[in-house]
A and B are shown apart, each in its own frame.
Chain A
Amino acid sequence: MSDLDPLRLTALEAKRLLVEGEASAAELTSAYLRQIDAVERRVGAYVQVCADDAARYAARIDSEMTASRGALAGLPTAIKDNMLTLGVTSTAGSRILRNYSPVYTATAVRKLFDEHIVMLGKTNLDEFAMGSSTENSAFHTTRNPWDLGTVPGGSSGGSAAAVAAGEALWALGSDTGGSIRQPASLCGVVGMKPTYGAVSRYGLIAFASSLDQIGPLTRSVGDAALLLRHIVGGDSSDSTSVELPSRIELPSAERLDGLRVGVPREYLQAGIEEGVRRRFDETIALLEELGAGVEELSLPHTEYALAAYYLIAPAEASANLARFDGVRYGYRAPDCADLGEMYERTRGEGFGPEVKRRILIGTYALSSGYYDAYYGQAQRVRRLVKDDFDKSFAAVDLIVSPTSPTVAFGVGSRIDDPLAMYMSDVCTIPANLAGLPAISLPCGLSDGLPVGFQLIGPAFSENAILAAAHALERAIGFDPAPTFRGGETVEATTEATS
């Protein structure tokens, strides 16, 4: 089938084509592999493309799995490289894991394998998901398919770029402070962070355990619902996972009559670019046209959320990343004289600068004598941020904001200014602190670059969020095909192995 358009095809449509026999899994997979051949050298979405395995598996689905196909059989999928895939190198974008071959598969990925998805490859990310641009990847910087001189956002920048560039039908990402929603916003795709606990974290290489969630990056809201449906659920291997109160529905809402939507004024004071603000206001107007009631509200502790996040996340990370010590797997510095040198050099050579920065911040925040002033205080702020949301959701059904204060920024423009980089997540972090579900969907362009619109709901309100986002998506009518302007070949700074 030559008329498959990998830039516009949705998963729901692809599934229909496969089920009705209008396309084969092999044809679908080869369409995406061809697109990877065509653009990957300029985009660099992947750390590793599994072209042969993908093609072989797709052919097997066509020939052998005629009767007992899974619900997602044959759908070409990209997986962020911080999720473990048995026997397929999983690096977390780090030199310390560049040759790490997992001994098991992450629960969320296994659930997709159980439904017979085709894994196209593992996507690039900021090292250990720490960053907002993929510039912290130990391997290379992924480029934004809309403008190859700009970043795709991060940390799930590889997954977002892969979906936007038609290098995957859809993808899994992970979101600790906005790592799904911010790159989705910058790349003009849909990205959803589920309620904390909705998706098992087993096999997700941990960054910050109390904040990390796996979620979908897709070309449509309906696709996000479909992918989410198949990864949620309680997992006996993850004590923090829970069963959703109801099944994820495919959204069909066209009107939003009676929906109460709140706009937190604090989110609009956070250095929002003019073009972003304009698209946001237009989208608010669309919400009203669809029948929703929009009101301003206040989330008064928003200004402290970023600071709290940058204590809690590094504190947890400092412990989570301590296991990378060169003893059992991963990189070990050669020719060390003693144990101390092995630890120091393995971690000194294995981790990049942003990861080291956060380990140091986190270690400091947990130190005896500082714990209460930093980690303890941050946890108290976290509680207040959550209370703000709880109070607001007594009055409104959903809270909306721009996803990112800016559109995609130039490669290299913020890498030496960590604080400016941290500001990228100012609108997304509060949902992680409060454990709430949130989605970003494209709401138009500013200077030719996508703008994202965020909807946040109460815990386990995924269906309500998806329904509203779906109605809004229809009304916006965003064309997801990117422009691929500018750009050159992406050069790997370090070679990832496959």
Chain B
Amino acid sequence: MTGWEPVIGLEVHTELKTQTKMFCGCAVAYGDPPNTHTCPVCLAHPGALPVVNQRAVEYATRIALALGCTIRPRNVFHRKNYFYPDLPKAYQISQYDEPLAVDGVFEYWVGEERLTCRINRVHMEEDAAKLVHAGESGRIDGSDYSVVDFNRGGTPLVEIVTEPDIPSPEAAGELLRQLRTLIIELEVSDCVMEEGQVRWDANISVRPAGADELGTRTELKNMNSFRFLQQALESEIPRQIAVLEAGEEVEQETLHFDPETGSTSPLRSKEEAHDYRYFPEPDLVPLEMDPVWVEEVAAALPELPAARIARFREQYGLSRYDAFVLGHARPLAVFYEEAASSGVDPKPLANWTMGAYLAHVKEAGLEPGEGFITPARLAALVAMIAAGAVSGSAAKEVFARMVEEKAEPAEIVERHGLGQISDDAVLEATVATVLEDNPDEVAAYRGGKTKLLGFFVGQVMKETRGRADAKRVGALLREALGEDDT
């Protein structure tokens, strides 16, 4: 596989959470009985005409601006023609060569590496209805009959098209995760994957490493799982490399990924590709984008993850990676900033937030900010460590007990006697006991295995249930072991 590099591009579709559909007044709703949110427009009755949902335009503009795109002053809707029962007009109103916005860029992180992906365009369109096929196959071929639920039909969709800038399946997965986070933060879509509120197509090609030209690409359509996308790409890349290494050519085709087998198979080839016969939608007038309005939308955007991450590095002196982990998604960022506002040292706070706290919310199935551990409580614990009231290692137990007993850190320390022991008299007694109990190790230490100091510290901590001031214990141990030597 060496000598080849994959090139990946993505098309991301996001349903907008407007109150009404893209071109009619029907509610956008999930989970309601079939065909309860329909009207002549979204059922494509004769004579019905579309009217653009201004809120959808605003939401789409928010996304485009957050991706650094240029909003085009005039944009046009087109008809994309094809027959299918989930498309009642037999054309989808979409945008084609005059989209809402072009030329953006998205920054994302893969581990500690910051990558950028150029955004080709952002455009608006409408979603199709939902088909349900009766019968075993679950597909239209071979089903006894099929029914259509038009509730989803006409839901506003934004399509984001990237340039083929993505270097690996892992990067594709990370980009999608972080883009989804961004869209949620813009409050334009909930991006619930199970509801299909966000879905994507990927196109993938391989080329000799370092080459400029792109290879022939294949497409993976309509995926809504990060894991499946990554698996599909991971199986498709070696397939293409094998084809090329055998001296053959990759065929441009659309592929279907089967999660059961973990492999891809052709859905339709270029020869069978649709001719969508795009032409400007004559029922709608071109959208003239008022630059003042666009400015207002831009000004009202919340702080975006990239800016927030940069600010975290600066303001809190965090490493790039820590700033990313804490800053890329709003809920955790808000939690961290609120805790930091109490004035505790931001670095240990960052470690506690990313460590014990994040592990806790994940395990409990909570969103950051939910549950008993408020920013103030975590900050209080970190402050107690800094003040020497509790040792770093005992603090872990304190944290666990705070979650369990729903009590303030000071109260836990009090209740369970977890306060730090700094009294030399107490510590010296424990040190003496530990050395007495481990004569072999003492001999070894004295014979030169000074690394055993850590072992002794550990034993003392164990004896004190982590409460001992570890630094002081080390000093006392060295003293005791040295003293005996003379």
Contacts and interface: CB of A to CB of B under 8 A. Distances in A.
B110 interface: no
- Please indicate which of the listed interface residues B45, B46, B141 has the most CB atoms of chain A within 10 Å of its own CB: B46
Contacts of B40: 103-104
A71 to B, nearest CB: 25
Contacts of B51: 236-239
Interface string B134-149: 0000001100000010
Given A239-B51, A323-B88, A375 B46 contact: no
Interface string A205-238: 1101110000000000000000000000000111
B88 A328 contact: yes
B282 A103 contact: no
B343 to A, nearest CB: 56
Contacts of A327: 85, 88, 148
Interface in B70-90: 79, 81, 83, 85, 88-90
Contacts of B278: 366, 371
Main secondary structure of the interface of B (DSSP, over half): loop
B47 A240 contact: no
Given A236-B51, A237-B51, A239-B52, A209 B81 contact: no
B45 A367 contact: no
B400 interface: no
B50 interface: yes
B275 A368 contact: yes
Interface residues of A, number: 43
A319 B91 contact: yes
Contact of A205 (B47, B277, B283, B284): B47
A102 B81 contact: no
Given A343-B83, A368-B277, A323 B49 contact: no
Contact of A323 (B46, B140, B277, B284): B46
A90 B49 contact: no
A239 B148 contact: no
Contacts, number: 100
Interface string B249-277: 00000000000000000000000000101
A38 to B, nearest CB: 33
A100 B44 CA distance: 13
A104 B45 contact: yes
A339 B85 contact: yes
A329 B45 contact: yes
B106 interface: no
A322 B89 contact: yes
A97 interface: yes
B301 interface: no
B285 interface: yes
A366 B96 CA distance: 14
Nearest to A204: B47
A338 B141 CA distance: 8
Interface of B: 40, 43-52, 79, 81, 83, 85, 88-91, 140-141, 148, 275, 277-279, 282-285
Given A240-B283, A319-B89, A375-B279, 7 more contacts: A238-B51, A239-B49, A240-B284, A318-B277, A322-B81, A323-B88, A367-B275
13 contacts: A102-B46, A102-B47, A106-B47, A204-B47, A237-B49, A315-B279, A319-B79, A319-B91, A325-B90, A328-B43, A328-B88, A366-B277, A375-B279
